Amino acid sequence: MSREQRPPAPEPLPAPAIDSHTHLDACGAGTAADVAAVLDRAEAAGIVRVVTVADDLPSARWVAEASIWDDRVYAAIALHPTRTKDFGDAKRSEVERLARGDRVVAVGETGLDYYWDYSPHEAQQEAFRWHIDLAKRLGKPLMIHDREAHEDVLRILTEEGPPETVVFHCFSGDAGIARRCVDAGYVLSFAGTVTFRNARDLHEAARLVPAGQFLVETDAPFLTPHPYRGRRNEPYCAAYTVRGLAELRGQPVAEVADAVRHNAERVFRMPSVTTS
């Protein structure tokens, strides 16, 4: 399969849902017209809103701008843990300025990534602690990137004291980590990886999360749901993940879509979607 080839349009969901974490700039949506086209495809599949997430400072500037181009788009802003090798006062000031925007609904994605070696662990941890404090000062949810760093992420959250709302983007832990997160009141966001046939630990985790503590995301253009792994992901593909999660949990698709929408509206303080 070609990464340039998008999956086919899915059957529209029976109830609207929200993609809680995507990267519209990495999906090739450079202009307002591009963003509108991506959101039109998403809305046709039942994905009525997205949160587009920054990776570095140029991305942070772009997502802040894109969030005012289309009412269906919101933003999350932070410096990705792999970008924190040199995270001085000037960068921190700009991140904070951008994160204060009215349509910026979360501080993220921040956290720890021990898979790549672009930033030393110490620098990542210092930046993570700063972002935790920023989320608390701004009164916005904290959106966490956690890759092969579960114990340190949970430890630092405990040491710093978490914000009121914590979202584990693209949750990748097993049932044990999921239980600890759920017990702490954290929200787990499931990407296309939850539909992968060999992701048994993640399947078990997805089944145990209470209805009020899960979200669905694409992390587009990455992590395209089964059976389209290898193709370019886009927000409309969240509809595949909603269906896969419903199958795992043994729930009607409409029920899971409703939960995804209501949880995202609560977590990110969005106006309620009007449904017919």
pLDDT above 70: residue 50: yes
d(CA 128, CA 112): 7
Domain boundaries, the chain: 17-268
Topology of the domain comprising 17-268: TIM Barrel (3.20.20)
pLDDT (tens digit per residue) in 206-244: 999 999 999 999 999 999 999 999 999 999 999 999 999
Chain mean pLDDT for the chain: 96
Q: Find all residues with CB under 8 Å of 61, minimum gap 6, and list them.
A: 98
> Which pLDDT score is estimated for 2?
47
d(CA 133, CA 171): 22
pLDDT (tens digit per residue) in 158-214: 999 999 999 999 999 999 999 999 999 999 999 999 999 999 999 999 999 999 999
> Which pLDDT score is estimated for 274?
78
DSSP string across 153-221: HHHHHHHH---S-EEETT----HHHHHHHHHTT-EEEE-GGGG-TT-HHHHHHHHHS-GGGEEE---TT
d(CA 213, CA 203): 15
> Which pLDDT score is estimated for 276?
59
pLDDT (tens digit per residue) in 120-141: 999 999 999 999 999 999 999 9
Q: Is the pTM of this model over 0.75?
A: yes
CB 239, CB 15: distance < 8 Å? no
If we measure between CA atoms, which residue out of 165, 151, 139, 163 comes closest to residue 20?
Answer: 165
Cβ neighbours of 251 (radius 10 Å): 15
